[in-house]
Structure 1
Amino acid sequence: MYKLSGKNSIILLLCLRALYSMNWYNVSPMLFNITSTYGVSSALSGLILSAFLIGTGLFQIPSGLVASKIGSKNTALTGMAIMSVAATTSFISPDFTVFLVTRFVVGLGSAFFFSSGIAVLNDIDERNVSRNIAAFNTAFSVGGGFGVVGFAYFLQYTSWQNLLAAGGVVTLILTVVSFILIPDLSSKSAKRNEFGKNVYRRLTSRPLLLLSMSLAGYWGLNFTFEEYLQPFAQNLGFSGPVSGFIGSLSLFAGLLGMVLFAYFSSKRASVILPSLVIFISAVLALQFFGLSYYLFLTAVLGGSISVIIFSLEYSYVVKLETEKQFVALGISIMNALQIATGSVITFLFGYLFSVNADLSWIILGIIALIFLPLGVSVMKQRS
């Protein structure tokens, strides 16, 4: 059967990555429409985001284990199939509780795609994996940006149920095409007695754990920044449409990050990663002064720098791994730690934001810096 070339397979994976992000962020402009439909308080809208995050966080390590056994391609595309079907079934969710379950399953599916998707990139083109990971993260930014802006626009003409279902159907179609056309280059499973030892070795890998935790504060900072940028813009007096533009700007700025990545990837990670985290923490902290139009600058800087930082750290994990079979597991362990820690940070920020929206940004930046020293020594040893 005909299979795509390596280059075309990567392009198809990037399209899937964009749809993955779209199915994540497209609920953002619909949150209050959804709560209104089910007759629940708008204060419960945060549960919609939390349900997704819990699903994707809980199944990070299980997804890595599955990928180590059945291969990265099969795991990644199975995850996309689960994600798309769950997004589609939100169309028929009879109540708010069932809808939250569908969002949990969407998050579950996303967990199986992300780390395995990076492993597939490594299987296809190991030489240029850092560049391809940067493109992978940029596709996430573009897809998320379209999820916010595009679905907000189409919501004027149809129901949120129709939009979520349409996004799920499009994703499922491309997933099926990918199953057929992308070649499976995954490494074969290790023997059972060796498999357990290999898994344990990675779960207890000091370099991997320290690097993951050192950037967990930044993960929380970045996720919180993206989620609260739009309401913070409204808090500063911008209109709804302008606030929405600012919120999506941080995602589309990932394209700039892709351009800049070539420069930063040629430098020592032990210098670049801490420097960028310190820089963006300081930039966000300056929002304490309430300079409204400064928010456009933070949106561009925050979005572009996130692509650089995440691409560098995932590339680091790929290069740290000596067996391609376990690339997805290493990344899934990193994701699990960062999502768990970052979720707590986001929850804390939500409380602080309600008390003092300006001061909360300074505290968020400080938290990101507290975690940073954990991995600096590891990065120096491995540079």
Structure 2
Amino acid sequence: MRRSTIAIIIILARIIYSVYWFYLAPALPIISIELRVSKALLGLIPLMFIVGAASFQVPAGIIASYMGNARTAGLGLLIMSITGSLIPFSSNFYEILILRLIAGIGAALFFSTGAAILSSTYPDRVGTLLGIYNAAFGLGSGIGLAWGVMYTFLGWKSSILLLSIIGIPLAFIVFFIQGGYMRRLRIRFSYNAVIIGIATSGFWGAYYAAGNLLPTYAVARGLPLYLSSLLTSIMLFSSIFGGLSGRIIDVIRNKVLLIVALTVLGTIPLISIPTLNIAAIIIAGGLMGYTNELTLTAAYVLVAKHENPALSLATLNALNMAIGMWLSILFTEVMVISYLLPWILMIIISLVLLPLLLLLR
């Protein structure tokens, strides 16, 4: 199979994979009414997905060492598709929680292995391909959120079922992408992946918190919901351009310095958000989305050079999630104290971990 064909298949799979991260979000208010669940508990649905994805990143890398990257990635996408297909038939809230936890495990199986396939297929253009891989996540995320429009025409259950089924044949294509070839790799962890994963977890967590909680913050400050959501979407769409700029990483030799510079550029402008100036929020959100995606791409390129790229990428991503996801909780806790403090903390935590990069070998 030509390497261009392999790349196209993986990018398409990455888009569908990304859709499955967010396509349930518009249905949460409906689920709350139909299953008589308190709105305060709805946050458990995305949380269970992240728990599954974060906890299974490293095991996914180990599994790929035995099964091969393509088979592991295909299995992961298949799990996400099947669990999504079962959600419309769930009779209670707890079944949905379990299904989203399993879907998160499927996401863990796909992420690092899909990236490893691209990095091994195009070893001379790793930054470019991983940049496109990350841009595909932004595109798929947007499609997943926009899919809520279909609920008006088909209902949320039929819409979720339709989109979930699409991933099943694509999962089998990914599974056999290398004709069953299995490359057994040593289960050896990367020291640099651990260091980079911890050092970039603050910026990852700040972006995740801002993307999820900026609408809540803005509405609490008096902005209308539609405007708050629109401003947040700018961060999402700018991340696509960050991924598409991956060629920059292939050109710049000092990728560690690039990570530091991008983190500073992406976080410092956050201090302007409490002013509620629309232009300031657009600039800060746009810069954060662009630089965060490019920073993660640079980090992925550095660890993808390890002898077991799937396990190294899984290690980095697991640390990003395990450490960074707590910033969302911190954000909401301090927001009730001060409208300025959450953004100051996002900046400080993003920058304070960067000196760990000096420990890289």
Q: Of 330, 335, 359, which residue of structure 1 is paired with 2:312?
A: 330
1:153 and 2:139 are equivalent in the alignment: no
Amino acid across the alignment from 2:138: S
Question: Does the 8 Å CA contact 2:61/2:113 hold for their aligned counterparts?
Answer: yes
Give me the CA root mean square deviation. Answer: 1.9
Alpha-carbon displacement from aligned partner over 1:276-312 (angstroms, at most 9, x marks no partner): 1122121112213332342222232222112201110
Structure 1 unaligned spans of 5+: none
Aligned to 2:295: 309
Structure 2 unaligned spans of 5+: none
Question: Does the 8 Å CA contact 1:123/1:185 hold for their aligned counterparts?
Answer: no
Q: Using the TM superposition, give the Cα deviation of residue 265 of structure 1 relative to its aligned residue in structure 2, in angstroms.
A: 4.2
Q: Distance in 2 between matches of 1:167 and 1:232?
A: 31
Aligned to 2:239: 254
Instruction: Note closer, same or farther for the CA distance 1:366–1:177 as it changes in structure 2 (3 Å cut).
Output: same
Q: Using the TM superposition, give the Cα deviation of residue 184 of structure 1 relative to its aligned residue in structure 2, in angstroms.
A: 4.7
Within 5 Å, which residues of 2 pair with 1:1-383? 4-148=1-145, 150-180=146-176, 182-184=177-179, 188-189=183-184, 195=186, 198-199=187-188, 202=189, 205-267=190-252, 268-319=254-305, 321=306, 323=307, 326-378=308-360
Q: Using the TM superposition, give the Cα deviation of residue 118 of structure 1 relative to its aligned residue in structure 2, in angstroms.
A: 0.8
Amino acid across the alignment from 1:114: F
Instruction: Note closer, same or farther for the CA distance 1:366–1:153 as it changes in structure 2 (3 Å cut).
Output: same
Q: Using the TM superposition, give the Cα deviation of residue 238 of structure 1 relative to its aligned residue in structure 2, in angstroms.
A: 3.8
Amino acid across the alignment from 2:277: L
Q: Distance in 2 between matches of 1:127 and 1:184?
A: 23
Q: Distance in 1 between matches of 2:181 and 2:297?
A: 21
Worse-superposed segment, 44-53 or 250-259: 250-259
Question: Does the 8 Å CA contact 2:127/2:246 hold for their aligned counterparts?
Answer: no
Q: Give the TM-score of the pair, scaled to structure 2.
A: 0.93
Question: Does the 8 Å CA contact 2:73/2:174 hold for their aligned counterparts?
Answer: no
Aligned length: 360
Question: Does the 8 Å CA contact 1:124/1:185 hold for their aligned counterparts?
Answer: no
Worse-superposed segment, 35-44 or 264-273: 264-273
Worse-superposed segment, 163-172 or 66-75: 163-172
Question: Does the 8 Å CA contact 2:128/2:245 hold for their aligned counterparts?
Answer: no
Q: Give the TM-score of the pair, scaled to structure 1.
A: 0.88
SS of the residue corresponding to residue 183 of structure 1 reads: coil
Alpha-carbon displacement from aligned partner over 1:46-88 (angstroms, at most 9, x marks no partner): 1111010000011111100000111000001100000110111
Question: Does the 8 Å CA contact 2:205/2:324 hold for their aligned counterparts?
Answer: yes
Q: Distance in 1 between matches of 2:55 and 2:244?
A: 33
